Structure 1
Amino acid sequence: MAVPKRKTSKSKRDMRRASNSKATRPNLMECPQCHEPKLPHRVCSACGYYKNKEVKEVN
């Protein structure tokens, strides 16, 4: 069975672990009512519509 010759430093260990967790930008889509960018499956903050129905009144 293989055994490491030297201890892996904290820096090397953390670099290896961090390589898999890259920050990604959220996917934005266009609101069909007001054409503002919004997150998918969320109520539009600009017009208050979700699935072509007004669910929140926006002033």
Structure 2
Amino acid sequence: MATVVREAIDQHFASDVALRASAARDFLAEPLTDAGPEPDWAESKRALVGDIAPQVP
């Protein structure tokens, strides 16, 4: 997760180091929310494949 966030910040704020640092601080200051238990991976994978499969030739 951290890698994805860093890469997104790098891409969006690549030219301004101060702006990148500010964006990272703002993101880290956000409280974490409890979204409940993680979904079962097997169920999630089946749902994703079901969504994608009709679109693949």
Verify same fold: TM over 0.5.
no
- Of structures 1 and 2, the larger Rg is shown by 1
Structure number with the higher strand fraction is 1
Q: TM-score, normalised by structure 1?
A: 0.28
